[in-house]
Amino acid sequence: MTISSARKHAGPGPATDLPPVPEPTFAERTRTLVYLGRTASLSTLSRKQSGFPFGSVMPYGLDDRGRPIFLISTMAMHTQNLQSDPHASLLVTQQDSEDEPLGASRVTLLGNVLPVPKAELTDARKLYLQRHANSKYWVDFEDFSFYRMDVVDMYYVGGFGVMGWVSASDYDRSQPDPLADSMAEIIQHMNADHKDALVMLARTFAHMDSTEATMTAVDRLGFHVRLKTPEGMRGARIAFSTEVNNQGETRKVLVEMVQHARSQIK
C-alpha cells in the first residue's frame, strides 16, 4: 500500500512546523469506508421528474474489487429509474460518528448501476448474503434481482478541510485497511481505559497540551485524536512508531509509545 499526505483546505487545527504525518491515501481510506459500511444512500435519476435526483436508503454488498452490489425489486422506484438511466451515485458515511456529522468521513461513488451478469450471479448472491443474512427470506422472490455499480469516479471527504477526488483505477488497486475490522474496538478501548495515555501521547508526539484527548480514528500508520485545549477543541494525527497489521501489533506499539512518552516526563 502507498502512503500520501492528505490534501487540505484551512482546517481547525493550529499551524505547526512539524513534518506531515504519514496517512493512508484517499483511495485506501475510501476503500476502507465502503468496506465498513452496510447501508448507504443511493441517488438515481427520476423518471417522473426528469433531471431530478431520487434518493433511496440502500443496503449493499461488495465484490472483490470493492464494487457495490444491490438486491432490488422491480416494484421499487429506484429500480425503475435505473432501468431508464443507469447513472447513479452512492453516498457512504462513517458509521457511529459522534458529535459533529460534518466532521465524519464520507464518500460519494459515481457509476453505472446495471444487472449483474448471469455468470456472476452465484458469487454476487453469496457476497451480498454474507453482509445481509436476513435477505435470504426474499432473495429468491421473482421481482428481486442483483444489480452492481461499476464505479467511474468518487469524491472523498475525511472531515473538516480534508477532501479530494479518487480515481476508479486507484480505488480498484487499493484494499481496506488491515485494522478495518478491529478499529472500532481499539478506539472504544483507548477512550474508555486509556484517556490519560492519549493526553500523554498527544503532548509527546504531536507537541500539543490538552486536558482531555479522544481517539477518533485509527489505521495501520497511526491515529487521530480530538483534544480539549485552552484554545478550544483541536485535532491532531499521531504516527505509529512502526506500521501495524493487526490488533495485537497495535496494542504492542501503543504500549511502547506510552512507555517512551512517560520516559520524557521530567
In a domain? residue 223: yes
Residue where a domain terminates, one of 173, 196, 215: 173
In a domain? residue 41: yes
Supply the pLDDT for residue 18. 62
In a domain? residue 5: no
8 Å CB contact between 157 and 105: yes
8 Å CB contact between 220 and 208: no
Supply the pLDDT for residue 162. 84
In a domain? residue 6: no
For residue 18, how many other CB atoms are within 10 A of its CB? 11
Same-domain status, 129 and 43: yes
Supply the pLDDT for residue 10. 33
Supply the pLDDT for residue 146. 98
**pLDDT tens, residue by residue, 215-263:** 989 999 999 999 999 999 998 999 999 999 999 999 999 999 999 999 9
Supply the pLDDT for residue 264. 86
Same-domain status, 166 and 39: yes
Residue with cell 494525527: 237
Burial (CB < 10 A; 0-12, 13-18, 19+), residue 196, is exposed
What's the whole-model pTM score? 0.86
In a domain? residue 162: yes
Domain count of the fold of the chain: 2
Supply the pLDDT for residue 96. 66
Residue at 54: amino acid letter: F
Same-domain status, 168 and 186: no
Domain around 185: 179-263
Instruction: Name which of 52, 122, 60, 117 is nearest 81 in CA terms.
Output: 52
Same-domain status, 124 and 184: no
Positions in the chain whose pLDDT score sits under 70: 1-18, 96-100, 266
Same-domain status, 154 and 201: no
Supply the pLDDT for residue 159. 75
Supply the pLDDT for residue 3. 47
Q: What is the DSSP string of the chain?
A: --EEPPPB-S-SSPP-SSPPPPEE-HHHHHHHHHHH-SEEEEEEE-SSSTT-EEEEEEE-EE-TT--EEEEEETTSHHHHHHHH--EEEEEEE-TT--S-GGGS-EEEEEEEEEEPPGGGHHHHHHHHHHH-GGGGGTTT-TTEEEEEEEEEEEEEE-STTBEEEEEHHHHHH----TTTTTHHHHHHHHHHH-HHHHHHHHHHHS----SEEEEEEEETTEEEEEEEETTEEEEEEEE-SS---SHHHHHHHHHHHHHHHHHT--
